[in-house]
Structure 1
């Protein structure tokens, strides 16, 4: 009996077709399809139809590949972005794009969102953010510190949401209903502060907390500029 087409081994391809961009795209596919732990050079070789050692011609080790994935995530967010004349709108747009990229690639985001890729897309993103902060009226150390805080909060929140996208739906539903169930049922004599706002917690769950946190940061930037002037 002949083996089925699906059981047939994948044909090895010529190494000449292999590029860093192709490897990164394949790595994203493997991670989103099979989970972050599935990313190995051997699995990538199978995915690409090459011997896994061929990947070492482009990436010396897995960490170098992860940095390229981090850069790819930022490049995806920057694609088509045009900075606004309004610094707040520029930062809103970029933060929203980073969030969306993390939503589209949650397995990748969970692993690389905290990395500093030291590559072109990251530099381009930094230029946009710092330029917006200079436009807002921050300078020197204040602009540098605010840049780090703003980017890291946006990436951390995006990675946090990416984690939630990997949680089974039934488990996540329990988390969501906790605000109207377990929190609402807490005894006021033991948890008076929670009780004081418990009737609002379920409503707040329906709000976009990413946008709320972002607006607080943008308001804080304006306040810092006012204090410095």
Structure 2
């Protein structure tokens, strides 16, 4: 079926890419089959030929973002560099589409893009000497860390300007005025708290995690381990 007013054939890929645009512009409220159909110039019922329901569509959108993160990716000989690159790529694509990230980072897509990235992370962990349950648990640590930060930072970006300004300003206003007799540590670090940004926080969390994984990997290779 062709979308009215253009020559594009309606397909699952087209629906997903156009729905991502709707999410960017209108947020989750714009993701109804009626609005999607209007945006594409087709009868909303045509969408059911490709997606049984809205939930299936959301999962496809999130898997599309994962696949975008993998475009041009090549594993590094150093497993730590591979994991670092994947984390950066994933966070970058989610923050480019914060409305989608808020909507779906908690979901398991069980589709090709997600399976490819899980396989790649497990391969990197295998190079580090992890297998079985231990590899699965460490995979979850890396994945959940990336998704948690992406969701948190995306959540901030979808706030309105007034809410963002108040939240950012709190560190240099309310926290800076904390009573030293009651909150001595806050009073002593208020200036530093106000200067910390989301990117550097993610970098530190990621590096601490990779250092811990590397230490565990090294311990496995020690004599007698």
Q: TM-score, normalised by structure 2?
A: 0.90
| Aligned residue in 1 for 2:209 | 217
2:17 counterpart of 1:22: no
CA RMSD of aligned residues (A): 2.0
| Aligned residue in 2 for 1:184 | 176
Give the Cα separation in 2 of the matches to 1:222 and 1:22. 42
Within-5 A mapping of 1:32-181: 32-181=24-173
The CA deviation at 1:87 is: 1.0
How far does the alpha carbon of each residue in 1:10-59 deviate from its partner, in whole angstroms, 9 at most, with x for none?
A: x8369991110011011111111111111011111111111000100110
Distance of aligned partners of 1:80 and 1:193 in 2 relative to their CA distance in 1, 3 Å threshold: same
Question: Do the aligned partners of 1:176 and 1:205 also contact (CA within 8 Å) in 2?
Answer: no
Give the Cα separation in 1 of the matches to 2:71 and 2:199. 28
Distance of aligned partners of 1:15 and 1:64 in 2 relative to their CA distance in 1, 3 Å threshold: farther
2:222 counterpart of 1:226: no
Question: Do the aligned partners of 1:74 and 1:98 also contact (CA within 8 Å) in 2?
Answer: yes
Give the Cα separation in 2 of the matches to 1:186 and 1:72. 45
Unpaired segments ≥5 residues, structure 1 = 1-10
The CA deviation at 1:206 is: 7.7
Unpaired segments ≥5 residues, structure 2 = none
Question: Do the aligned partners of 1:71 and 1:119 also contact (CA within 8 Å) in 2?
Answer: yes
Question: Do the aligned partners of 1:74 and 1:121 also contact (CA within 8 Å) in 2?
Answer: yes
| Aligned residue in 2 for 1:6 | none
Give the Cα separation in 1 of the matches to 2:119 and 2:106. 18
The CA deviation at 1:200 is: 2.5
Q: TM-score, normalised by structure 1?
A: 0.88
Paired residues in the alignment total 219
The CA deviation at 1:93 is: 0.9
Give the Cα separation in 1 of the matches to 2:43 and 2:193. 54
120-129 or 217-226: which moved more? 217-226
